[in-house]
């Protein structure tokens, strides 16, 4: 086993270099090589790995071997031992540099403006998150930290990398001193603003971060999670939201500054329309139930209602049934035909009949399943034509008539 000289520690901008393959292994089913020197960044410290190629073969993952700290380059193919030409995918590398440096700046800004320290950091595909050791932050506090962070960017302060011993680090004003096994600590120094131990890739001046924009804050496990993006990501986020806002404003024939009031008015109108519609639907349902009651068949003193629908749903049938059961001495045998057949059999408390027995007999004809009690039962089956459901209900009606005879 052989370790790897991590060239990105001192130079994050080089993205094409020559190296030697000093070890080839099949690791966890993948083709993996170790180089004597590498600018490829492995996943660590909240920052994802670099991608690229070795002699044209794609590098699909980069990790660190625990035993000796060697950098493992996972390949989508094979390369021969010896000298290779390595190319790092620069857009991904530079994006990670912008985001990671932006995180350092924003973390320090929250310390200075809200005394909120970063507990953890994650660089995702679309956004970056930091968890702060504070239980809540106001929008105004977030804005103050964001303003300070961007001021540091616009001042284009230099960023320097240096290595110190643990003893030296303890004499410095570091945000956090990580555990060390005796090796020197790598420090990222943003001039007169932030000094922290970090192994990640960073830009050379704060101006290269471009912009920091907080897009959301969340409360999680007693802390505040800040979701943000930097540089090209921030531009993309603004571009997307600007397009959405402009398109929405155009649809509502208003300016973007009046978009929120327009949406609130529209929501209120929709609520009012929904309330009116529900009232009308309730009135129609009651009228339909009254019509069914008026046309009910009489079996002695019992009113028997049979009806099959194709343009209703189960909820509608249950609403009808509720109104019908308000009448005394009534039995309702209701059904739905179509892609999914459905039966609902009910009787009022003073009416005769075993609804579950009737349902089971009807469902047997439809190939369905269901159940219930003597008072009410329901079930469903596969696709059934109107005539099939009508025949099943007619069979149940005949059984009821026999029970009442």
67 confidence band (pLDDT: 50, 70, 90):
confident
Is residue 348 a contact partner of residue 328, using CB atoms and an 8 Å limit?
yes
What percent of the chain has pLDDT above 70?
99
Q: What is the pLDDT of residue 76?
A: 93
Is residue 204 a contact partner of residue 103, using CB atoms and an 8 Å limit?
no
- Segment 76-102 mean pLDDT: 96
CA separation (Å) from 353 to 17, 198, 322, 357, 398? Answer: 87, 79, 18, 9, 12
User: Between residues 208 and 176, which one has the greater pLDDT?
Assistant: 208
- Segment 259-269 mean pLDDT: 93
In the 8-state DSSP scheme, what is residue 359? Answer: H
The CATH architecture one would assign to domain 94-248 is 2-Layer Sandwich (3.30)
Q: For the segment 151-200, what is each residue's pLDDT rounded down to a tens digit?
A: 999 999 999 999 999 889 888 888 878 777 778 999 999 999 999 999 99
Helices (H) then strands (E): counts for the chain: 8, 21
Q: What is the pLDDT of residue 309?
A: 95
- Segment 80-92 mean pLDDT: 96
pTM: predicted TM-score of the whole model, two decimal places? 0.76
Topology of 5-88 in CATH?
Answer: Elongation Factor Tu (Ef-tu); domain 3 (2.40.30)
Least Cα distance to 201 among 17, 4, 8 occurs for 8
Crossing angle of helices 355-366/386-404, nearest 10°?
A: 150
Q: For the segment 335-362, what is each residue's pLDDT rounded down to a tens digit?
A: 999 999 999 999 999 999 999 999 999 9
Is residue 9 a contact partner of residue 186, using CB atoms and an 8 Å limit?
yes
Residue 273 reports pLDDT greater than 90:
yes
What percent of the chain has pLDDT above 90?
88
Q: What is the pLDDT of residue 216?
A: 97
Least Cα distance to 39 among 65, 5, 8 occurs for 8
1 confidence band (pLDDT: 50, 70, 90):
low
Residues 6 or more apart whose Cβ sits within 8 Å of residue 267: none
- Segment 304-320 mean pLDDT: 95
Max CA pair span of the chain? 102
Residue identified by tokens 């995918």 is: 89
Least Cα distance to 149 among 95, 101, 92 occurs for 101
Q: What is the pLDDT of residue 26?
A: 77
- Segment 307-326 mean pLDDT: 95
Tokens of residue 211, six digits = 């912009």
Q: What is the pLDDT of residue 2?
A: 63
- Segment 16-29 mean pLDDT: 88
Range of weakest confidence among 24-28, 195-199, 369-373: 24-28
Topology of 295-404 in CATH?
Answer: Diaminopimelate Epimerase; Chain A, domain 1 (3.10.310)
The upper half-sphere exposure of residue 249, i.e. CA atoms within 13 Å in the direction of its Cβ, equals 13
Tokens of residue 234, six digits = 């921030």
Least Cα distance to 211 among 190, 191, 237, 187 occurs for 237
Is residue 49 a contact partner of residue 41, using CB atoms and an 8 Å limit?
yes
Query: What are φ and ψ of residue 233, in 5° steps?
Result: -65, -40
Question: Could you please report the per-residue DSSP string of 225-236?
Answer: EEEEEEHHHHHH
Tokens of residue 402, six digits = 């026999």
Residue identified by tokens 């052989």 is: 2
Q: For the segment 115-149, what is each residue's pLDDT rounded down to a tens digit?
A: 999 999 999 999 999 999 999 999 999 999 999 99
Mean pLDDT of the chain: 94
């Amino acid at each position: 086993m052989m370790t790897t000289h991590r060239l990105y520690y001192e130079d994050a901008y080089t993205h094409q270099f020559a190296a030697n393959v000093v070890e080839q292994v099949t690791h966890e089913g993948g083709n993996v090589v170790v180089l004597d020197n590498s600018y490829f960044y492995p996943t660590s410290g909240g920052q994802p790995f670099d991608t690229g190629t070795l002699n044209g073969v794609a590098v699909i993952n980069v990790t660190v071997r625990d035993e000796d700290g060697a950098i493992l380059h996972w390949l989508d193919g094979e390369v021969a031992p010896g000298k290779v030409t390595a190319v790092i995918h620069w857009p991904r590398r530079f994006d990670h540099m912008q985001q990671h440096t932006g995180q350092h700046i924003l973390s320090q800004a929250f310390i200075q403006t809200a005394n909120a320290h970063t507990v953890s950091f994650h660089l995702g595909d679309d956004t970056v998150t930091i968890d702060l050791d504070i239980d809540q932050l106001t929008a105004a506090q977030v804005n103050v930290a964001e303003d300070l962070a961007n001021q540091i960017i616009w001042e284009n302060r230099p960023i320097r990398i240096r290595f110190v011993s643990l003893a030296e680090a303890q004499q410095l004003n570091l945000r956090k001193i990580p555990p060390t096994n005796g090796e020197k600590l790598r420090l990222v120094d943003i001039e007169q603003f932030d000094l922290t131990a970090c192994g990640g890739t960073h830009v050379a001046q704060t101006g290269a971060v471009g912009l920091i924009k907080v897009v959301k804050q969340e409360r999680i496990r007693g802390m505040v999670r800040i979701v943000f993006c930097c540089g090209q990501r921030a531009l993309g986020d603004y571009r997307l939201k600007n397009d959405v806002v402009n398109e929405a404003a155009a649809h509502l024939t208003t300016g973007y500054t009046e978009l929120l009031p327009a949406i609130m008015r529209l929501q209120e109108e929709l609520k009012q329309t929904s309330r009116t519609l529900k009232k009308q639907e309730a009135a129609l349902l009651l009228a339909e139930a009254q019509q069914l009651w008026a046309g009910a068949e009489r079996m002695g003193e019992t009113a028997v209602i049979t009806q099959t629908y194709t343009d209703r749903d189960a909820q509608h049938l249950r609403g009808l049934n509720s109104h019908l059961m308000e009448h005394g001495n009534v039995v309702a045998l209701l059904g739905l035909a179509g892609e999914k057949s459905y039966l609902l059999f009910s009787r009022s408390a003073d009416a005769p009949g075993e609804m579950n027995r009737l349902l089971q007999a009807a469902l047997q004809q439809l190939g369905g399943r269901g159940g219930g009690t003597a008072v009410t039962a329901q079930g469903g089956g596969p696709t059934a034509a109107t005539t099939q459901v009508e025949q099943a209900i007619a069979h149940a009606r005949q059984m009821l008539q026999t029970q009442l005879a």
